[in-house]
């Protein structure tokens, strides 16, 4: 079973033997012995796993499938709130209390009494604004804004707050006056497909990048994905602006044949605030100021497009194996 494991802001990919019969205990051991040390945490660090970043998965020896984990899922590693581990400081070697100006001349003092090389500032820089802390090794270029550090899903977002991944995608794709409501909806749809385990057909993209060719003139959009559950399958999501509505047509192609089709029609005004015309301030251009009712949009896209396509792909593969 292939899974994505997120430790603060970094995502690792791992594969467990045994498929859906792999146990939660195996996953816990893998994270504890391999991933935690890789990210600078001790294997003795207390942690728990979660699918939604809030509720822990209790390990009673059950299989991953029995707790609702399928291949491609994003597993969140919840760590202590105190931040990443850091070496103990030695105040006796620093500060004015350790220096005696009356007995030492300038030639005996200097940077040799300080040892900055023993400190790891990249792992102990808590974010001082907002109700979250910055990850240990990656820093986003935006130091303000009403977005929230992952792990956070769109289904958990409240009005006025969005996941950081959506903020980055929206800034890159819809920043300034060029982005319209349909553009914003397609950006959110792309993120929701990623949350469900789909991956861009062209491979992984950098954080904040939309797939190439996702938007065409005339209000047409195209997103293409693969999924770990669908080795021989591909998914294409076509969006077409039709007056005030955005029609989505998603197809599952198995061995170059259309196997399933899902359709949904969205009203962008239900999920995107009226942006008006003219120049907008930086705050007015943020995703948190633009999007609303993300939880409803998440349910609509996942329940009517993403999950049915995954189910169809799994059913098709089972038929191939039994046939």
* Category of 213 on φ-ψ map: left (φ > 0), alpha (ψ -120 to 50) or beta: left
For residue 249, what pLDDT is reported?
A: 95
Question: Which pLDDT does position 285 carry in this prediction?
Answer: 67
Q: For 67-91, how does the pLDDT look when each residue is reduced to its tens digit (9 = 90+)? A: 888 888 888 998 887 555 543 344 4
In this prediction, residues 107-125 reach a mean pLDDT of 41
Q: Which tens digits make up the pLDDT trace of 6-45? A: 887 788 888 887 777 788 888 888 888 888 888 888 888 8
> What does the mean pLDDT of the chain come to?
75
Share of the chain above pLDDT 70, in %: 71
0.75 exceeded by the pTM? no
Q: Are 80 and 45 in contact (CB under 8 A)?
A: yes
**Greater pLDDT, 252 or 103:** 252
CB 307 within 8 A of CB 193: no
Q: What is the mean pLDDT of residues 131-160?
A: 54
How far is 273 from 292, CA to CA, in rounded Å?
7
């Amino acid at each position: 079973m292939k899974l994505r494991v997120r430790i603060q802001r970094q995502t690792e990919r791992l594969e467990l033997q045994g498929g859906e019969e792999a146990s939660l205990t195996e996953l816990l051991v893998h994270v504890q012995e391999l991933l935690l040390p890789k990210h600078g945490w001790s294997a003795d660090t207390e942690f728990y796993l979660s699918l939604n970043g809030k509720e822990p998965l209790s390990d009673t020896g059950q299989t991953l499938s029995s707790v609702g984990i399928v291949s491609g899922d994003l597993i969140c590693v919840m760590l202590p709130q105190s931040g990443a581990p850091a070496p103990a400081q030695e105040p006796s070697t620093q500060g004015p209390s350790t220096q005696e100006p009356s007995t030492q001349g300038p030639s005996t003092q200097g940077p040799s009494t300080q040892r900055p090389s023993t400190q790891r500032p990249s792992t102990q820089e808590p974010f001082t604004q907002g109700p979250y802390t910055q990850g240990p090794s990656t820093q986003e270029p935006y130091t303000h804004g009403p977005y929230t550090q992952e792990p956070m899903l769109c289904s958990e977002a409240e009005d006025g707050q969005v996941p950081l991944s959506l903020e980055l995608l929206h800034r890159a794709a819809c920043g300034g006056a060029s982005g319209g409501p349909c553009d914003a909806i397609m950006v959110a749809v792309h993120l929701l497909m990623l949350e469900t385990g789909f991956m861009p057909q062209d491979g992984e993209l950098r954080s904040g990048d939309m797939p190439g060719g996702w938007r065409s003139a005339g209000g047409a959009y195209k997103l293409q994905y693969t999924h770990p559950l669908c080795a021989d399958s591909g998914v294409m999501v076509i969006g077409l602006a039709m007056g005030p509505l955005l029609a989505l047509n998603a197809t599952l192609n198995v061995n170059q044949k259309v196997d399933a089709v899902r359709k949904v029609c969205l009203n962008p005004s239900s999920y995107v605030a009226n942006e008006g015309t003219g120049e907008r301030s930086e705050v007015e251009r943020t995703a948190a100021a633009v999007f609303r009712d993300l939880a409803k949009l998440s349910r609509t896209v996942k329940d009517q497009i993403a999950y049915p396509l995954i189910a169809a792909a799994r059913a098709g593969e089972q038929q191939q194996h039994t046939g």
